[in-house]
């Protein structure tokens, strides 16, 4: 359960941000081994990049920026330092990748496709419940970025 549901004020905002960062980290950690590898990023971005040599360099740079212990991976603490300090919402990137039709919402098919890609089984009823939980209209309206964060925070 998301700890931010009961928090308020500055501490609540910090907890919300931490929870959102954890959710973003888990989405990028494709193989679920507790660290983001170049292969995780290649898999995550496979629909956005042609995966040529230039893209491998970009992914290498992304890892290098965050990999403070220089082990070739980005652990959560490293991820949190880089993303949190820059105040960049990784969830925006996650949202953009999931929003396949570019309509500004993650709809039923977008979410179902992502869940399948992530190896998570969900039937139509499950997906509709997630969208409703995120404040969206399960009849095709989908959820905004904020709604997706609510879904991934649970």
Q: What is the fold, at CATH topology level, of the domain defined by 9-88? A: Recoverin; domain 1 (1.10.238)
User: Please, what is the Cα angle at 85 between 33 and 17, to 5 degrees?
Assistant: 65
Output the tens digit of pLDDT for each of the chain's 154 residues.
233 333 333 344 455 556 677 888 888 898 999 999 999 988 887 755 555 666 777 788 888 888 999 999 999 999 888 776 544 456 777 788 888 778 888 888 888 888 877 777 788 888 888 888 888 875 667 888 888 877 765 4
Cα 118 to Cα 32: distance, rounded to the nearest angstrom:
10
Cα 91 to Cα 95: distance, rounded to the nearest angstrom:
6
pTM of the model: 0.49
In the chain, domain spans = 9-88, 90-154
Place of tokens 């496979």: 46
Contact yes or no for 55/38 (Cβ under 8 A): no
Instruction: Please tell me the class of the 90-154 domain.
Output: mainly alpha
What number of CA atoms fall less than 13 Å from residue 12's CA on the CB side?
A: 6
């Amino acid at each position: 359960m998301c700890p931010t549901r009961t928090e308020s004020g500055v501490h609540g905002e910090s907890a919300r941000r931490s929870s959102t960062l954890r959710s973003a980290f888990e989405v990028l950690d494709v193989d679920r081994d507790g660290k983001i590898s170049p292969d995780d990023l290649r898999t995550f971005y496979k629909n956005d990049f042609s995966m040529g040599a230039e893209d491998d360099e970009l992914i290498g740079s992304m890892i290098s920026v965050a990999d403070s212990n220089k082990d070739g991976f980005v652990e959560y603490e490293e991820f949190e330092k880089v993303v949190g300090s820059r105040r960049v919402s990784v969830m925006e990137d996650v949202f953009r990748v999931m929003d396949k039709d570019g309509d500004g919402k993650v709809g039923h098919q977008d979410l179902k496709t992502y869940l399948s890609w992530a190896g998570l089984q969900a039937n139509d009823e499950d997906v509709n419940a997630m969208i409703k939980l995120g404040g969206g209209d399960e009849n095709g309206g989908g959820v905004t970025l904020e709604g997706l964060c609510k879904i991934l925070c649970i």
